[in-house]
Amino acid sequence: MHLRHIHDADRTKDPNAPYDASLVGVVYGLLDFVAELGIIPSLSPGVLFSQRPRSVIVPGRLKPRRADRHLLENAIDGLVSIFEDNNAGIQPLIAQRSLPDLISGLAELALRPLPLGDNGEGRATHQAQLEKVLNS
């Protein structure tokens, strides 16, 4: 995931390095891309926060996708791994920009009814992650 590479690179930069405003725009664009294609299409009706930040991606440029639980899990797991790295790298940008999407996605994975044949593997992990994010 590109966000992980950016996060790791930002964590290793000199703390006295000048602020890179272009990084914010790139990260916001990537976060919007992840939300629009990997999270929002897989949310149950009524789960999406109505007060989401306005996307920096030009409206109509992305084709609507169908719900994809595997893609949702990958998107959320990637964001959670960075979000848990308190105040390092791009974690503050995720907390600032994508917290509603992160909570919505975790709630979907942790609480929605399981489809037939799904043994619920990973549900306990997502429930614990949701609780941890809400507590933070």
- For 72-130, the pLDDT digits (tens) are 999 999 999 999 988 788 999 999 999 999 999 999 999 887 766 666 777 889 999 99
Lowest mean pLDDT among 12-26, 64-78, 89-103: 12-26
pTM value? 0.85
Max CA distance (Å), the chain: 53
Q: Which residues of 103-116 are buried (b: 16+ CB within 10 A; e: fewer)?
A: bbbbbbbbeeeeee
* Under 8 Å between Cβ of 2 and 65: no
Q: Could you give the CA distance from residue 100 to residue 59 in angstroms, rounded to a whole number?
A: 20
Tokens of 9: 């690179």
Domain that holds residue 82: 2-12+20-135
Q: Could you give the CA distance from residue 72 to residue 37 in angstroms, rounded to a whole number?
A: 9
Number of domains in the chain: 1
